Chains A and B, each alone.
Chain A
Amino acid sequence: MSEPRNVLLLVGSPRCERSNSYAIGKFIVHKLEEKGLSFEEAFATRLVNTQKGTERLLKSVDNADIIVLATPLYIDSFPSPTIKALELIHEHRKAVSPTKTQLLVAIMNNGSPEKEHMDIALKIIRNFAQESNFKWGGGIRVGWGYALNSEPLNEKKGRTRKLTRGLSLASVNLAEGQPISEEAEDLASTLFAPLFLAKIIIRLVVNPGWNKQAKENNAKAKMRDMPYELKT
C-alpha cells in the first residue's frame, strides 16, 4: 500500500460527538493529522437514512485510504445504524470495485470491563472487511467505556494512559500504511485497572451511581419498574 493521505473517522455511536467512540476515534485521527494526513468525520446515524447522506458516506469511504470505525457495542454487536452503514458500503463496493488498497480499522468500546464481550463483533467487522475488499487494519477493544465519560482522551491521566499509548503506537503503523501491530492492539485493549479491582469499583461506585443519576430525574423509586410484566 502506498503512503496513505486521507483518513475517514466513521463514528458508529448514535450519540455522535457526545460519545466515547468519538473521543477515542478523534484521538487517533489527531495523531494521524500530526503525521500529515488529512481527516474527515462521518456519523453513521446522521447519514444512513437519507439518499443524500448515503451518497456522502459512500463518497467519503471511496476517498479514504484509511477508515477508522469507532463504535460502541450494543447488545453484543454494533448499533443498527452502524450495521446499516456496513450494508450500504458493501452494496456499493459490489457495484463499484475499489481502485486502491484501503485499510479498515475497528475501535470498539463496551460498558462491561471485559474486552471479550467484543470478540464476536470483531469477527463480524473482519468478515465485512474481507467481503467488501478492505485490507484489515486491526481491531481494538476498549472495555469499561463508561469510565471514559465521553471526554477527550488525556495522555497523562491514569485511566487513559494505556489506551492513548496504544492508539499512538497504532497511529505510527497506520501512517506508514501498515495494519496496527499486535503490541498496539494489546496495549490499547488493556483495561486501566486489574479486573478484580474493576469489579469492586463497579459494585461500590458504578451501581450506586445509577441511582444517583436516576434521582436527578426523579426516577429513583421507579428504577426497577416492570411496565410490561403480565398481570396474572
Chain B
Amino acid sequence: MKTVIFNGAKEGDLIMNAIENTIADQLTAKGWEIEPIELRNMQIAACVGCLGCWLKTPGTCVINDDGRETTRKAIQSDLMVWLTPVTFGGYSSELKKAIDRMLPSMLPYFGSYHGQIYHKMRYKKFPNLLVIGVQEPGVDYEETFMALAGRNQLNFRLPAYAASVFQRDKNPETIPAFVEQQLKKVEVIS
C-alpha cells in the first residue's frame, strides 16, 4: 500500500514536519510505502485554467513540470495526505497549487452526485484522503476547514476521508496519539 504526503508548510515549520514524520513512522511500521513531498521544494506552476488537460492532452496537464508528477503520484496511491497551515479556514497556497493541478484527474463532463452537479471523474479509483491543518492560536476555523475537506471528498469522489486540525500551541508530545487517531479515521490502521 502506498501513501503520498503533500506537505504544504513553509520552511522550518517544526510542528508540521513532526506530523509528517509521525505519519511516515506509523505507516511504515504497518508496512506501507511512504513518499513525502515537500511542495515548497517542487517546481509546480499554478494551474492557468486553460482546460488543455481536458481538451488538448486529456488526462495530462499541458504544463510540463513537477505538477504532472504530483498528480500521477496521487492517483497511483492508496492514501493521500495533505498537510497545511490552516489559512483563513482553507489550505495554504503551496498545497492548493498541487491540488489545482489535479484537474486532469477529472473529466469535463458534468454529472449529478449527491444531488449536485460535479465534474465526472476520469479514473474509477481515487485514493483515500487525510487532511491535517495546523492552526495558529487565537483563531478557530476548524468548522470551515473540515467543511472544505468534505467538499473535496465529494469533488474527487474519495472512497474515505478524514480531516482534523492540530493547534500549534498544543504540546508536540501529543502528536503521535493525534496522528494515530486520524489514521484510524481514514481506516488505514485498526
Among the listed A84, A125, A206, which residue makes an inter-chain contact with B88, where contact means beta carbons less than 8 Å apart?
A125
Please indicate the chain A residues that have their CB under 8 angstroms from the CB of B29 in the complex.
none
Q: Contact at A74–B49, with CB atoms within 8 Å?
A: yes
Please indicate the chain B residues that have their CB under 8 angstroms from the CB of A131 in the complex.
88, 139
- Of residues 49 through 95 on chain B, the ones whose CB sits less than 8 Å from some CB of chain A are 49-50, 54-60, 71-72, 75-76, 87-94
Tell me if B117 counts as interface (CB < 8 A to partner A). Answer: yes
Q: Contact at A117–B116, with CB atoms within 8 Å?
A: yes
Q: How far is the CA of A90 from the CA of B85 in the complex (A)?
A: 14
Q: How far is the CA of A124 from the CA of B48 in the complex (A)?
A: 22
Q: How far is the CA of A225 from the CA of B53 in the complex (A)?
A: 11
Whether A75 contacts B100 in the complex (CB less than 8 A), given A113-B117, A210-B108, comes out as yes
Whether A228 contacts B117 in the complex (CB less than 8 A), given A75-B102, A77-B96, A83-B93, comes out as no
Main secondary structure of the interface of B (DSSP, over half): mixed
Whether A87 contacts B93 in the complex (CB less than 8 A), given A80-B47, A199-B112, comes out as yes
Q: How far is the CA of A117 from the CA of B92 in the complex (A)?
A: 20
Among the listed B72, B109, B122, B139, which residue makes an inter-chain contact with A210, where contact means beta carbons less than 8 Å apart?
B109
Residue of A nearest to B99 (CB): A75
Residue of B nearest to A114 (CB): B116
Cross-chain pair count, CB within 8 angstroms = 151
Residue of A nearest to B106 (CB): A75
- State the Cβ distance, B9 to closest chain A Cβ, in Å: 13
Q: Contact at A120–B151, with CB atoms within 8 Å?
A: yes
Residue of B nearest to A82 (CB): B93
Q: How far is the CA of A86 from the CA of B93 in the complex (A)?
A: 9
User: Which segment of A11-19, A57-65, A164-172 sits at the interface?
Assistant: A11-19
Please indicate the chain A residues that have their CB under 8 angstroms from the CB of B89 in the complex.
120, 123-124, 127
Q: Contact at A83–B144, with CB atoms within 8 Å?
A: no
Q: Contact at B46–A80, with CB atoms within 8 Å?
A: yes
Q: List 17 A-B contacts (CB under 8 A).
A: A77-B90, A80-B47, A87-B92, A87-B93, A112-B116, A112-B117, A112-B118, A121-B90, A124-B144, A127-B141, A199-B117, A210-B54, A213-B55, A214-B55, A214-B58, A219-B56, A223-B58
Which residue numbers of A lie inside 8 Å of B, CB to CB? 13-15, 19, 45, 48, 72, 74-81, 83-84, 86-87, 90, 111-114, 116-117, 120-121, 123-125, 127-128, 131, 199, 202-203, 206-207, 210, 213-214, 217, 219, 222-230
